[in-house]
Structure 1
Amino acid sequence: MTAPQSIAIAAMMAVLAGPVAAQDSEYSWQPDRPINIIVPWSAGGSTDQVTRVIAPILEEALGTEIVVVNQPGASGSTGTKAALDAPRDGYTWTANAIANNATYTVTGLIDDTSIEDYRIYLHVANVPLVSVNVNTEYQDFPSLLDAMKNGEVTVGTAGVNSSGGMALAALRQEADGELAGARMITYDGGNPAVIAAASGEVDATTQLAVEQTEMIRAGRLRSLTVFSDTPLEVEGIDPVPPITDFMPDFHVAKDYFGVFIPKGAPEEVYETVDQVWKDHVMNAPELQEYANDRGAIFDPSYGEDALAKAMPVVIAEACARVERGEAVVDPSEIGIDCETGAAE
């Protein structure tokens, strides 16, 4: 079955399941059919988790079904491209991390796209976590780092363009390329990568904290450090020391996650979703509870405010690809000047 067929079937099933309760006509755009949000990663990962928290909030506000469609592949670029290629009518959105959408063109995965192609709606920020299978010998981060330098450690991630893949690349860069023993094993999403580490299929994972907390609580993963300058404190888990305890000069930054609506739809689509985000997401208790439980940072925004938060991540990630020799396309082609560290 092709991706467009799967999206169409999902939408049809949503219609057959029955309409969402009708709402008052308080918004300029009133959708008359289901909206698809393409999650370009497998079910259970960080993007999928938070999108399924957001979807019911949007459903109630918009009065229509929100269909979450998992379409993984090629480090998230397959589903992202499907959203960009869909009709620009406001009924096909995508969800991802800013750091991923920022680098698809730079890494050659999607031609000629940038963060400017979307209206951005952010909800949480996430941080990578370095954890190991509990049966490994690694009791702390220095011992794992030593093994990555002098032995062999298999590290499960969702691919080079995933948060876990970029976290591992950042570790290599900070260690001056000395982590020759760290061998990345890729999966179709963060959840499969974390499960691989918990089951012992790989030794470690560098995926996001929100994808790991349940396995840590269950005693199947041992967390060693978090990509932050402060400890990670989540109920039911011992505080996780920050990466700056071990690598003081390590650059840490929030990786914002959100929903992205490709530009080109009628203006009332964006006006309506802006208002829905303001009215129903900015203080959503369901989202705050998710963030607190999983180790995410509740920090919603939309429109120009969201773009302002996103751009430092966009610039940093795109230019880091150049520094690590991973860039296929110069960031200047998508309006990023790595010499000045600014958008053109």
Structure 2
Amino acid sequence: MLRRHLLAAGAAGIAAPATLRAQAAWRPDRPVTVIVPWAAGGSTDQMARIVATELEEAFGQRFVVVNQPGASGSIGTRNAMQAAKDGYTWAAGAAVDLGCYKVLGLLDTALADWHLFFTVANVNTVAANPGSGYRDFGQLLQALQARRDIAVATAGQSSAGRNMMEAIRAAAPNVNYRNAPYDGGNPAVLAAVAGETPVVAQLLVEMAEMIRGRRLIPLAVQADTPITLQGFGEIPSIKRWLPNIPTPLNYFGIWAPKGVPDNVIAAMTQVWETRVKDSQRLKDYAAARAAVFGPLHGQAAFDAAWIMVRQTAWLYFDGGSARVSPDTVGIQRL
């Protein structure tokens, strides 16, 4: 089922393809900024730098990735919102964050306020330091039910890892944990590798190399079925232990706020259809890290992300971390 559902700089003088020149009036005449609102090295940063390369080759202009972490991604996203709406500033990240900022009181924006361009969907994963004593998710689950102080590294309040832990808490009785927030997925993973925390919950793409190197033990993926990671093997589905836990796809990509000129969005759409949807770089990235290659844009992207936004917004509310009820900002329960 998971498989079904389914920019760092380059040479600035490359000529844009004839299809782009013919079909879209917009072509950037200076570098374009892509704000990654998380630390370097994490899932968003990895994805954005590959996309930047594709866009540089398509448009013949530099796409510069800038890391602006803080406040669960809302600082960098706010900067993209407040920039001139001329097509020269984009943001990157996970669509579920964009859709839940308002519920968390972090940023006054909604998923419908943005032009969405997705590349991959990532899988939430929980893993343990080899010295923690946890060898499968069942052992961790028992510990989470017996204790209240197990530190779990995540990338912050609205990160994939925190979302996964809250889903676990909602799906199982008496689960407690101590959230240990970091400025991005990569720092969170490295914290668990170093033993600062015994457990990390983040995206599989961020853990893949450490799992292959046997520096982390993957306990479970938040997916309907087990996931096979190249160079390691199969990681079990969390549904083995928690059959009713939701497993929505976590879409990542780039976006620009509504108000950007139509010809900018038309040009980006053209590139998504003629280049990104067949990008071998993104396909290789997804295959190596057990992500889902899923380039989407426009209404199709919104519809795909909306499922996880609805589930996660109410997870925040039920867990007590929401500032406002989701239904007051147009997010109904699934």
TM-score normalised to structure 1 length = 0.90
How far apart are the structure 1 equivalents of 2:185 and 2:88?
26
1:123 and 1:257 in contact (8 A); partners too? yes
Q: CA deviation at 1:263?
A: 1.1
Amino acid at match of 1:232: I
2:29 and 2:61 in contact (8 A); partners too? yes
1:72 and 1:188 in contact (8 A); partners too? yes
SS in 2 for 1:172: helix
How far apart are the structure 2 equivalents of 1:88 and 1:37?
13
Question: Which residue of 2 is the match for residue 150 of structure 1?
Answer: 146
In the alignment, does 2:104 pair up with 1:115?
no
Q: How does 1:304-343 map to 2 (within 5 A)?
A: 304-338=299-333, 341=334
Amino acid at match of 2:96: A
How far apart are the structure 1 equivalents of 2:321 and 2:217?
30
Amino acid at match of 1:183: R
SS in 2 for 1:69: strand
Name the Cα RMSD after superposition. 1.5
Q: CA deviation at 1:335?
A: 2.0
In the alignment, does 2:250 pair up with 1:255?
yes
Amino acid at match of 2:61: T
Question: Which residue of 1 is the match for residue 5 of structure 2?
Answer: none
Q: Give deviations 1:13-72, integer Å, cap 9, x for gaps.
A: 97xx96231224233211111111100000000111111111100111111100001000
Q: Give deviations 1:99-148, integer Å, cap 9, x for gaps.
A: 1111101000012x101111100110011111000112111111111111
Match of 1:101 among 84, 93, 98: 98
Q: CA deviation at 1:229?
A: 1.4
Question: Which residue of 1 is the match for residue 3 of structure 2?
Answer: none
Q: CA deviation at 1:331?
A: 2.1
How far apart are the structure 2 equivalents of 1:315 and 1:47?
21
Q: How does 1:78-227 map to 2 (within 5 A)?
A: 78-111=75-108, 113-151=109-147, 152-176=149-173, 178-180=174-176, 182-227=177-222
Q: CA deviation at 1:327?
A: 1.5
How far apart are the structure 2 equivalents of 1:154 and 1:238?
27
Q: Give deviations 1:253-297, integer Å, cap 9, x for gaps.
A: 101111111111111000000000000101111100000001111
Question: Which residue of 2 is the match for residue 21 of structure 1?
Answer: 14
Number of residue pairs the alignment of both structures matches: 322
In the alignment, does 2:227 pair up with 1:232?
yes
How far apart are the structure 1 equivalents of 2:92 and 2:175?
32
SS in 2 for 1:260: strand
1:124 and 1:298 in contact (8 A); partners too? yes
Question: Which residue of 2 is the match for residue 302 of structure 1?
Answer: 297
Q: Give deviations 1:72-96, integer Å, cap 9, x for gaps.
A: 0001111011110111111100011
Question: Which residue of 1 is the match for residue 239 of structure 2?
Answer: 244
SS in 2 for 1:105: helix
Q: Give deviations 1:216-242, integer Å, cap 9, x for gaps.
A: 111100011110111110111120110
1:20 and 1:59 in contact (8 A); partners too? no
Match of 1:73 among 61, 70, 74: 70
Q: CA deviation at 1:187?
A: 0.4
Q: How does 1:258-269 map to 2 (within 5 A)?
A: 258-269=253-264
How far apart are the structure 2 equivalents of 1:65 and 1:174?
45
1:20 and 1:60 in contact (8 A); partners too? no
TM-score normalised to structure 2 length = 0.93
Amino acid at match of 2:292: I
How far apart are the structure 1 equivalents of 2:70 and 2:239?
33
1:174 and 1:250 in contact (8 A); partners too? yes
- Percent of matched pairs sharing the same residue: 43
Structure 2: runs of 5+ lacking an equivalent: 1-7
How far apart are the structure 1 equivalents of 2:222 and 2:11?
44
